[in-house]
């Protein structure tokens, strides 16, 4: 009986030991976050967010109007009667002169003689008096018309002149002469430093019908008189055109646009939240185009574009509209789109990969097969652009005197990607810094084993393709059309290139540079 009791007691003790072992293992697994010893020191944790360089961008600002509006303004401001004349002319018909020279004066030299005057007779002697008259007339213009194509703006103005000759020598009471001219002007538009419109006008005109009358068998032409009066009118077009263009209210529109340009645009709502902040720097005249009946003045705004990750940045402080700059190059819109992989996305992937490896079994050189269990994985950024990877583990050799070991092992490695690729891998993965000399166990050779390292490396590989496409699509929507007051910003992203991966405090960060074209147009809200 005593022997039976001893046998039963032996089995009870064994069961208790087994239960304690299982309970101890479970207790380690539950408390491992706090109680697992460190096999090697944890690398320092970096918390800084990714910093992106600012970019210089050019945003096109078209201001358009109908040629009809400018035409109407020109026709309103330029008088229909261009000039008037009412003056006494002492010699409407100059007196006739004759030369009668029966004996000419000659000059001879080297045997050759030539006539040099009149020796005896009458030379250019007036035989009839000058006939005076009164000249009364005016010139009226027809409708001014604008046309053009591309950078050529043309102005057309028909002119009709009427000139009356009155009281011609007391013989002819009145004669009327009419003439017609077509004034053509090639106009070059611009903007002064104070944003007021300017115009350079190259005038050309010709009389399709020169004003003149036939009196007493002679033709009297009044083209000279008409030209004399028409010249200052044509020159006045250079003053009238800017006045008509002033109806575009370029300065007032630009004032509003400039102030509202100091803003931030949401590129992505989350994962990660990203913003593009715009700070206008200067603005210049980029030329104009005539298309159909529309005249479009093109301005170019040079701005600083910055990308921020996280909360919306404060709007930059607006500055007054600066004087007009020279022509600004068309570099287009340039900014960064951040693509971010949170470390929390990578940790469970590594955990699952190691658990699968443990089920298959691990055999270490010089040790043989071991029973390994892997627990919580922690990943963050550390010095030198590397990732720190902490793994809780437990190992027990089956056929060697090595005792069971458990603890947290820290590794580090460098994330990288090939140029233009969204596939990120990790190289140079190894145990971080040195091990704690007081902890000598199986975990060191376990995490130096190539099979274990390869499993972690593969699990850390991350394809940014889906994140890249999602964030890019969100950015395209964000800049496609955005209203700021009475102005609409619209942009098209035409080219994207991704940079190299970085380990930051917020996660694995891939900068994507976007390039495109952007326009701001005036589109007031109907109230």
pLDDT at 54 over 90: no
304 and 282 Cβ atoms separated by less than 8 Å:
no
Question: Going from the N-terminus, what domains does the chain have, and what CATH number goes with each?
Answer: 81-247 (3.15.10)
Average pLDDT over residues 89-101: 70
Residue 503's pLDDT is 92
Q: How far is CA 386 from CA 30, 135, 354, 380, 470, in A?
A: 29, 97, 21, 9, 26
pLDDT tens figures, 442-490? 888 899 999 999 999 999 998 988 888 888 888 888 888 878 777 788 8
Question: What's phi and psi for 454, nearest 5 deg?
Answer: -65, -40
Average pLDDT over residues 432-444: 67
Owner of token pair 């950024």 = 381
388 and 426 Cβ atoms separated by less than 8 Å:
no
Region for 169 from its dihedrals, namely left if φ exceeds 0, alpha if ψ lies in -120 to 50, beta otherwise: left
For residue 454, give both structure tokens.
């390869």
pLDDT tens figures, 147-160? 998 888 999 989 88
Q: How far is CA 239 from CA 77, 201, 245, 497, in A?
A: 11, 10, 10, 50
Average pLDDT over residues 489-509: 89
For residue 499, give both structure tokens.
């940079």
pTM over 0.95: no
Q: Which residues pair with 301 in a beta bridge?
A: 59, 283
């Amino acid at each position: 009986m005593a022997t039976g009791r001893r046998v039963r007691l032996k089995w009870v003790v064994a069961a208790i030991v087994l239960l304690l072992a299982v309970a101890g293992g479970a207790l380690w697994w539950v408390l491992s976050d706090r109680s697992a010893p460190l096999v090697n020191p944890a690398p320092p944790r970096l918390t800084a967010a990714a910093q992106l360089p600012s970019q210089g961008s050019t945003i096109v600002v078209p201001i358009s109007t109908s040629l009809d509006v400018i035409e109407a303004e020109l026709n309103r401001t330029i008088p229909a009667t261009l000039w008037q004349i009412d003056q006494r002319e002492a010699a409407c018909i100059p007196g006739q002169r004759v030369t009668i020279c029966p004996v000419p004066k000659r000059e001879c030299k080297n045997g050759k003689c030539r006539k040099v005057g009149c020796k005896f007779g009458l030379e250019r002697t007036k035989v009839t008096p000058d006939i005076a008259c009164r000249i009364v007339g005016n010139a009226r213009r027809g409708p001014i018309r604008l046309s053009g194509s591309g950078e050529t703006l043309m102005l057309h103005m028909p002119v009709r002149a009427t000139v009356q000759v009155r009281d011609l020598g007391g013989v002819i009471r009145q004669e009327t002469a009419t003439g017609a001219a077509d004034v053509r002007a090639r106009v070059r538009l611009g903007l002064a430093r104070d944003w007021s419109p300017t115009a350079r006008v190259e005038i050309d005109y010709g009389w399709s019908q020169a004003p003149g009358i036939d009196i007493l068998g002679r033709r009297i032409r009044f083209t000279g008189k008409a030209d004399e009066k028409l010249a200052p009118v044509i020159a006045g077009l250079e003053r009238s055109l800017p006045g008509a263009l002033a109806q575009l209210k370029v300065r007032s529109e630009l004032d509003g646009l400039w102030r509202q340009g100091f803003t931030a645009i949401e590129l992505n709502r989350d994962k990660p939240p990203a913003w593009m902040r715009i700070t206008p720097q200067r603005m210049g005249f980029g030329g104009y185009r005539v298309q159909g009946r529309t005249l479009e003045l093109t301005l170019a705004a040079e701005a600083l574009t910055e990308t921020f990750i996280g909360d919306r940045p404060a709007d930059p402080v607006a500055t007054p509209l600066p004087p007009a700059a020279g022509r600004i190059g068309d570099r287009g819109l340039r900014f960064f789109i951040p693509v971010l992989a949170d470390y929390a996305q990578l940790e469970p992937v590594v955990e699952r990969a190691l658990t699968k490896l443990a089920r298959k079994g691990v055999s270490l050189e010089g040790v043989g097969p071991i029973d390994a269990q892997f627990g919580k994985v922690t990943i963050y950024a550390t010095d030198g652009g590397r990732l720190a990877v902490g793994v809780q583990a437990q190992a027990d050799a089956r056929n060697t005197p090595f005792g069971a070991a458990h603890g947290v092992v820290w590794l580090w490695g460098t994330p990288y990607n090939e140029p233009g690729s969204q596939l990120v891998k990790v190289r140079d993965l190894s145990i971080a810094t040195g091990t704690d000399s007081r902890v000598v166990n199986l975990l060191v050779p376990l995490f130096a084993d190539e099979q274990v390292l390869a499993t972690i490396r593969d699990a850390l590989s991350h394809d940014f393709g889906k994140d890249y496409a999602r964030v890019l699509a969100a950015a395209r929507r964000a800049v496609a059309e955005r209203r700021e007051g009475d102005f609409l910003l619209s942009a098209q992203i035409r080219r994207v290139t991704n940079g190299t991966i970085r380990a930051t405090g917020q996660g694995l960060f891939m900068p994507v540079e976007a390039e495109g074209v952007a326009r701001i147009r005036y589109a007031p809200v109907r109230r």
